[in-house]
Amino acid sequence: MIVCLGRIVQDTDADSIPDDDVSTLSESLDLQGTIESGGITGVAGKDFGGLYSVKPLALIKPSGTEDIARVVKAASQTSHLTVAARGNGHSINGQAMADGGFVIDMRSTEENHFKPLTIDGSHYIDVSGGALWEDVLRRCVSMFRLAPRSWTDYLSLTVGGTLSNAGVSGQAFRFGPQTSNVTELEVVTGKGEITVCSATQNSELFFGALGGLGQLGIITRARVKLQPAPDMVRWLRVVYTEFEEFTRDAEFLVTQEEGESFDYVEGFVFSNSDDPINGWPSVPLDPDHEFNPAYIPQTASSVLYCLEVALHYRNSDRPSTVDTAVSRLLERLGFIQRLKFQLNVSYVEFLLRVKQVEEHAKANGNWDSPHPWLNIFISKSSIVDFDRTVFRKMLKDGVGGPMLIYPLLRSKWDSRTSVVLPEGEIFYIVALLRFVPKGPTVEKLVAQNHEIIKWCNKEGLDFKLYLPHYQSKEDWKRHFGNQWTRFVERKTSFDPMAILAPGQKFFKRTHTIKP
């Protein structure tokens, strides 16, 4: 049957295949799942970024790992077909697309795995690569009162999608990114082989696939570490005028032992103005909170900084106990005392906090418009320069959405994975999460992102793009730096014909296996 598929798609492209050939394709692939024709208007040709669209050959909804392996094997028997795993399509720059190739809808496998395990007294959950983190959260908490340790801010992302990048949020300073919190993967390689891997079994594939941008394999199952889930969270935001004080306090908090710090530490930059999206109104956590600008010192500049922290607690804890713990942690910090906002929310509500933003943005049409986002890891040694030029000058009026900035610790990241980081133990994630209406402004904002990167390069800042996106192999080579050779070796072992994740624009699909 696969040979037959080779004949159908050999030396042709998506445009030349009529829709009714999908039934022939379907027969040839012999899948348990289903197959739909591609098409630029379909889901497989778009992503959250809204900046790119392509026409895939077909969207495959596999029933499980065997189907995925079958599709990859079939593609490998043709001269040119590629395969992209599509998680929830929340990439910005077409990373989950396959122009003229197969797109695999990983969500169709989300129910396949959900199995708790206890190994040497520690708790884990085996989940599907196509599962959404929000479902993993809800099910783990409601069924076992357990939860993964490391998250992303927004949870309508798939397990395989975030593990292919890193998966970062305010818990990463303590537990590392999500890639540091899995112990086993099941992966379909670019050869169509189904392989179980871990730190001790097929370890090159395990570490390579983590942060591997989908280049080495399709993650169909992950074993995720769990911890007891707290019931409640005290969620706080405190405001700073001086960048040096903001970073000093944030760095202090992320370098303390568990029990001596908050359980979540993030931060953001906002404009010193009454702009409803970019300014003071973006800080309070509750409509009842009032941000009184009279408390901002006269000396404040065009932008201000907000440290966002959270402390877990149990329903059985007395409010006074939580108050005392929070006061003790806040007492060493140098924020503007009268610009402090706090709220008690359930743990699940806290982790699903961006869902509300999504609902609001969907209602006003902003969710479906383009998102020229930029994510960068910047080393501590470069962050003051970045603030001075980028936040205080270039972006002083905001980006129409959050401008996140918070410190992370390199020692919590496993250097054997494919994730690329700047030098130094402390580095910051900077996320410019632009929400913009459709129109010519989008090109201007993409150009501004380029300008920021260009400036970082010119000034010699120590940085790496997170969720990277480059157009040429040369740029990728620069991005990977001294990890390039290792990455190419892994690619050659696990996807020698460069079939996987073509939307990352890394390697050109080859016809024959390179030695």
Task: Please list the active-site residues.
Answer: 90, 153, 266
Smallest gap from Cβ 216 to ligand FAD, in A, equals: 8
Smallest gap from Cβ 344 to ligand FAD, in A, equals: 22
User: What are the structure tokens assigned to 41, written together?
Assistant: 């208007």
User: What are the structure tokens assigned to 220, written together?
Assistant: 């169909």
Rank residues 139 and 353 by Cβ distance to ligand FAD and give the closer one.
353
Smallest gap from Cβ 218 to ligand FAD, in A, equals: 4
Rank residues 47 and 387 by Cβ distance to ligand FAD and give the closer one.
47
Rank residues 164 and 181 by Cβ distance to ligand FAD and give the closer one.
164
Cβ neighbours, 10 Å, residue 383: 23
Residue appearing with tokens 């520690």: 122
Rank residues 206 and 313 by Cβ distance to ligand FAD and give the closer one.
206
User: What are the structure tokens assigned to 422, written together?
Assistant: 């700047």
Half-sphere exposure of 422 (CA within 13 A, CB side): 27
User: What are the structure tokens assigned to 335, written together?
Assistant: 């924020």
Burial of 499 (0-12, 13-18, 19+ CB in 10 A): buried
Alpha helices in 120-237 (DSSP H): 133-144, 159-163, 172-175, 203-209
| Phi, psi of 10, deg, nearest 5 | -55, 130
Alpha helices in 190-318 (DSSP H): 203-209, 243-254
Smallest gap from Cβ 408 to ligand FAD, in A, equals: 11
Asked whether the beta carbons of 380 and 407 are under 8 A apart, the reply is yes
Exposure string for 258-275, b = 16+ CB within 10 A, e = fewer: eeebbbbbbbbbbbbbee
User: What are the structure tokens assigned to 242, written together?
Assistant: 């001086």
Smallest gap from Cβ 292 to ligand FAD, in A, equals: 30
Smallest gap from Cβ 297 to ligand FAD, in A, equals: 31
Rank residues 51 and 157 by Cβ distance to ligand FAD and give the closer one.
157
Q: Which residues here bind ligand FAD, judged by CB under 6 A?
A: 48, 84-91, 95-96, 106, 129, 152-154, 157-158, 160-162, 164-169, 213-214, 218-219, 467, 501, 503-504
Exposure string for 347-362, b = 16+ CB within 10 A, e = fewer: bbebbbbbeebeeebe
CA gyration radius for the chain? 23
Which residues, 6 or more positions from 20, have their beta carbon under 8 angstroms from its beta carbon?
none
Smallest gap from Cβ 268 to ligand FAD, in A, equals: 12
Burial of 85 (0-12, 13-18, 19+ CB in 10 A): buried
